[in-house]
Amino acid sequence: MSLSLTRSHLANQKGNAMLDLDAEYLSDVHRQFRAELRKFVVNEIVPHAESWETDGAVPRQVYEQMGALGFLGLAAPTEFGGADFDALGTVVFGEELGRSGFGGVAASIADHADMALPVVVAAGTREQQRRLVPDVAAGRRILGFAVTEPGGGSDLTRMKTTAVRNGDEWLLNGQKTFITNAVSADLFITVARTDPAARGAKGFSLFVVEKGSQGISVGSNFKKTGWCSSDMSEVFFENFRVPAENLLGDEGRGFYVLMQRLERERMSMCAQCIGMMERALEITLQHVKNRPAYGHTLWDLQSIRHEMAGYASDLTAAKLLIYHAAAKKSRGESTRLETSMMKATVPQLMKRLVDGCVQMHGASGYMRGMEIERIWRDTRPFSLGGGAAAVMLDEVAKLL
């Protein structure tokens, strides 16, 4: 598929068979934000992102460009260069990044702007926000979220990283892994156990740590099957000194801050899934309607039409769930049930839908260089990060 065709479809698509939910759920400000972000994705991400796949990271200047245009400070107060957007802004942001077709780009930028930064805004003091938020919202400093550990995974209570108070500092020791933006980041939000006697979710605290100081090191960029344009690695702390003023939120309450932000993270990830599924469905519809088969086209086969209709229906239902949850969250209501449901089901739907789209492309759908093949590779991590599907189903069951 030519770049000009890709740009045309990205710029003009309304979701094909998908319902247009913008009029129902979004304000004029949201819709304007979508239009401006889509233009940026089409002109500044899609033409260049293939080279970022090879390089293994999104270039720093992309963050700076997006920050200058006001795309990175979604949850930040306007006085610090943010947009002070609600959860519906998160959904728009995730969808448009996902619609680029580059899951790694979407993951890196969303992790910086819509997963890590909101924690600083939610838990940080006024002084911490003043000191940290403007540079992050402007893209001048890249932010990473260093939480996952080798033996922990979705069970955050198993974290072994520790922080011990030493005068006006904390001494941080431990290891984090599978950290998005690990290589690129200037700053990390990390969590460590500060009360060794506490059990379960108690006794964890959040810290802002700055890379480049003695006692912190980052491993090599992981070689992944998908999300190739997103740098990911390990982060090691060895008697790393963190100033006391970099404690984020109340001591011992870090786990609860993480739990609160998980709703937004899961919403963001699922919105990225929606954008990628819409793109996969769009290019596959174009393919089957033009691919000759048995004297007609693939679209003339009832089984093909029915399969595509089923995908469009499932995708519409998933999108409705996400928009409903975002609207509730924007009103200040809890969405723990809805976000657990969507995180359990939307990435699973994406795997099934995109795999079906590859099948409809035949052998060409399995070739490197084909957009549908890259989307297919990029689907898998979404059901792993932010809570594995099995864990999310158990979370849903607890709330029934």
User: Is 336 within 8 Å of 399 (Cβ atoms)?
Assistant: yes
Within 10 A of 254 (CB to CB), how many other CB atoms are there?
31
The Cα 14–Cα 298 span in angstroms is 23
Residues identified as active-site: 265
The Cα 397–Cα 220 span in angstroms is 39
Within 10 A of 307 (CB to CB), how many other CB atoms are there?
18
User: Is 311 within 8 Å of 281 (Cβ atoms)?
Assistant: yes
The Cα 173–Cα 371 span in angstroms is 42
Q: Which SS3 state, helix, strand or coil, does residue 130 take?
A: helix
214: alpha, beta or left, given left = phi > 0 and alpha = psi -120 to 50?
beta
Tens-digit pLDDT string for the chain (400 aa):
233 334 444 444 444 445 678 888 999 999 999 999 999 999 999 999 999 999 999 999 999 999 999 999 988 888 888 888 899 999 999 999 999 999 999 999 999 999 899 999 999 999 999 999 999 999 999 999 999 888 766 666 678 899 999 999 999 999 999 999 999 999 999 999 999 888 777 899 999 999 987 899 999 999 999 999 999 999 999 999 999 999 999 998 888 888 878 888 899 999 999 999 999 999 999 999 999 988 999 999 999 999 999 999 999 999 999 999 999 999 999 999 999 999 999 999 999 999 999 999 999 999 999 999 999 999 999 998 877 888 899 999 999 8
Vertex 26, ends 20 and 30: CA angle to 5°?
Answer: 115
The pLDDT, as a whole number, for residue 16 is 47
Look up tokens 């004297």; give the residue: 295
End-to-end CA separation in angstroms for the chain:
46
Q: Which domains are delineated in the chain?
A: 3-142 (1.10.540.10), 144-252 (2.40.110.10), 255-399 (1.20.140.10)
Rounded to 5 degrees, φ, ψ at 217 are -140, 155
Q: Minimal CA–CA distance to 25: which of 321, 317, 323?
A: 323
CA atoms within 13 A on the CB side of 295: 0
The pLDDT, as a whole number, for residue 237 is 96
User: Is 209 within 8 Å of 246 (Cβ atoms)?
Assistant: yes
- How large is the C-alpha radius of gyration of the chain? 21
Which tokens sit at 31?
């819709």
Give 71: exposed, middle or buried? Use CB within 10 Å, 0-12, 13-18, 19+: buried
Give 375: exposed, middle or buried? Use CB within 10 Å, 0-12, 13-18, 19+: buried
The DSSP H or E segment spanning 236 is strand 232-243
Predicted structure pTM score: 0.90
